[in-house]
Structure 1
Amino acid sequence: MDKSFEKYQKRRLRSSYLSVIISIGLVLFLVGLLGIIVLKTNNIAKHFKEQVAITIFLKDNAGKSDIEILQAELAKSDFTKSVVYVSKDDAAKKYSEDIGENFLEFLGENPLKNAIDLSLKSEFVTPEKMAEIEQNLVIRSIVAEVTYDKPLIELLSKNITRLSFWMLLFSALFAVIAVVLINSSIRLSVYSKRFTIKTMQMVGATKSFIRKPFIWQSVKLGIIGAFVAIVGLFAFVLYLNAKIPEIELMGDYKIMGIVSAVIVVLGILITWLSTFFATQRFLNLRTDEIYY
């Protein structure tokens, strides 16, 4: 009977430890992911900005040499990320594929124009700089029209700064929530051993002596939970990096190292403080109060 009860207690203890590790690991994983996003905000903003392109439509009488000269000049410009020439035949073919039918059969001729798709470096994707680039292009004799999504550029410029602010605010709020959640898990773990704490105190053990094994056990759980979070974080970041390589989440090992170190420190610090105050609470309770 005693052995059966002992096995039952050990299973409960392992289950309690596992739930604490999972709680710590999950919370620290989310904190780490949010930290990486905040630190990589510039890369994310850069990625989305560089998806914006200026389309330069060329006049029908534009000569091949003139087009090549314009392409070469654009390729050498400080603001250029890439330059792609799109003939009107290629444009017609792509448009036909998009709509699922050959529109040239109905029109009899190709109404599209030869064009150059100009992608800009992120620092030049602002309403003012793009308007200046547009003005320099429309005066060219071979250019018929210059178009780009002006409302989108204004929206990006306006919201990126705002997004950074809210991300920092959200990170601070989530950090507080993380502390509360981990603290609750640790308190429940210590609560299950409140009778042991009071028994040790009644036989003359000092408070520091009683606290020490509880704190050390919780710190070990915090370290394990932190490493679980780091492994999960690296796996998730590798997945995101494979899906969206332009963001370069894995490119900066310094940031990944900093986030990993912060996760470990948080795992140790939060579990240490939570266990200290939780054990202190039960040490200060009267014997009749531990039943409630």
Structure 2
Amino acid sequence: MSSSFENFQKRRLITSYFSVVLSVGLVLFMLGLLALFVVNAQKLSNDFKEGITMTVFFKDDAQDTTLTKYGEMLKAAKFAKDYVFVSKEQAAKDHEKTLGENFTEFLGMNPLKNSFDIHLRAAYVENDSVAKIERQLREDPLVADIFYDKQLVKMVNENVKKASMWVLIISGFLTVVAVLLINSSLRLSIYANRFIIKTMQMVGATKAFIRKPFIWRSIKLGMIGAGVAIASLLAVLFYVNSVWPTLGVFNDVFSIVVILIGVFGIGILITWLSTYFATQRFLNLRTDDLY
């Protein structure tokens, strides 16, 4: 009978430890995933912004030397990430592929113009900045027209601000949930040992002495849970990098290392604090209140 009860207690203890490791690992994984998203969200936003094209069309009077000088000016410009010169002949060929017919033969002329397709740097893809760049480029008398999707620029900036706000709200919410979940799991683990805590206190053990093994055990469980979370985060990163290599998730290795170290540190900190306050609560209870 005694052996059967001891086996039951051991199984219950192992289940309790597994529950703590699982909850810590899951919560830290979600927090780490959110942190990685926040770090890469700016990169994704910048990539999208820099994908918006501003096309500068030139009058037919513009000579090759003028176009060459304009290209050199764009190369030195701070606002230009990159640019591509599209001749009127190349533009005609591209249109022919799209339309499926040779429209220049039908018209008897090529109405298209030489142009530069410019990708602006993300920092300059703001409504005011883009408008300022447009005014600056229009000062050239040989520029016939400038086109870019103004609504897209406006929409991108508005959505980035909204997304940033929601990310902050969700981050705060998940952080609170993480602390509560881990704290709840550890409190249940300590609750199962409340009689042992009170017995040790009754025989004269100090509070610090009683807390020490429980805190150290919780820290080890937190480290294991953090290790599980880190392994899962690395697996996700490698998967994303293999499916979408253009995102370059491993370009910023420093940020990834900081996040993983942070996940490990949070796992230790939360388990230590939760165990400290949980044991303190049972240490301060009267014996009659334990039942």
* Residue 216 of structure 1, CA deviation: 1.0
Distance between the aligned counterparts of 2:156 and 2:127, measured in 1? 10
Task: Find the residue that maps to 1:178 and give its secondary structure.
Answer: helix
Q: Which residue of 1 aligns with 2:124?
A: 124
| RMSD of equivalent CA atoms | 3.3
Distance between the aligned counterparts of 1:272 and 1:25, measured in 2? 15
**TM value normalised by structure 2:** 0.80
CA shift in 2, pair 1:3/1:231, >3 Å: same
- Within a 5 Å distance, the mapping from 1:37-186 to structure 2 comes to 37-40=37-40, 42-58=42-58, 66-86=66-86, 87-92=90-95, 95-96=98-99, 102=100, 108=106, 115-138=115-138, 140=140, 143-158=143-158, 160-161=160-161, 163-164=163-164, 166-186=166-186
* Residue 183 of structure 1, CA deviation: 0.5
Alignment of 1:218 with 2:221, yes or no, is no
Unaligned runs of 5+ in 2: none
Matched to 1:130, the amino acid is V
Structure 1 stretch 235-244 or stretch 116-125: which is displaced more? 235-244
Q: Which residue of 1 aligns with 2:252?
A: 252
Matched to 2:74, the amino acid is L
Structure 1 stretch 108-117 or stretch 273-282: which is displaced more? 108-117
For this pair of structures, how many residues does the alignment match? 285
Q: Check whether the contact 1:92–1:112 (CA below 8 A) recurs between aligned residues.
A: no
Matched to 2:186, the amino acid is I
Distance between the aligned counterparts of 2:137 and 2:208, measured in 1? 76
Distance between the aligned counterparts of 2:67 and 2:181, measured in 1? 62
Task: Find the residue that maps to 1:78 and give its secondary structure.
Answer: coil
Structure 1 stretch 66-75 or stretch 78-87: which is displaced more? 66-75
CA shift in 2, pair 1:115/1:190, >3 Å: same
Task: Find the residue that maps to 1:54 and give its secondary structure.
Answer: strand
Matched to 2:180, the amino acid is V
Moved over 6 A (4+): none
Superposed CA deviations along residues 12-68 of structure 1, whole A, max 9, x for unmatched, are 322221221121112112222333444455434322221211123455676666544
Q: Check whether the contact 2:55–2:115 (CA below 8 A) recurs between aligned residues.
A: yes
Q: Check whether the contact 1:47–1:246 (CA below 8 A) recurs between aligned residues.
A: no
Structure 1 stretch 45-54 or stretch 201-210: which is displaced more? 201-210
CA shift in 2, pair 1:124/1:244, >3 Å: farther
Matched to 1:218, the amino acid is S
Q: Which residue of 2 aligns with 1:187?
A: 187
Distance between the aligned counterparts of 2:204 and 2:137, measured in 1? 87
**TM value normalised by structure 1:** 0.79
Distance between the aligned counterparts of 1:72 and 1:249, measured in 2? 32
Unaligned runs of 5+ in 1: 97-101
Superposed CA deviations along residues 62-119 of structure 1, whole A, max 9, x for unmatched, are 66665444434323322221112342244325535xxxxx3659x9568766543211
Q: Which residue of 2 aligns with 1:235?
A: 235
Structure 1 stretch 258-267 or stretch 31-40: which is displaced more? 31-40
Alignment of 1:32 with 2:35, yes or no, is no
Matched to 1:91, the amino acid is D
* Residue 199 of structure 1, CA deviation: 4.0
Distance between the aligned counterparts of 2:262 and 2:113, measured in 1? 55
Superposed CA deviations along residues 268-292 of structure 1, whole A, max 9, x for unmatched, are 121111112212222333344333x
* Residue 148 of structure 1, CA deviation: 0.9
Q: Check whether the contact 1:43–1:248 (CA below 8 A) recurs between aligned residues.
A: no
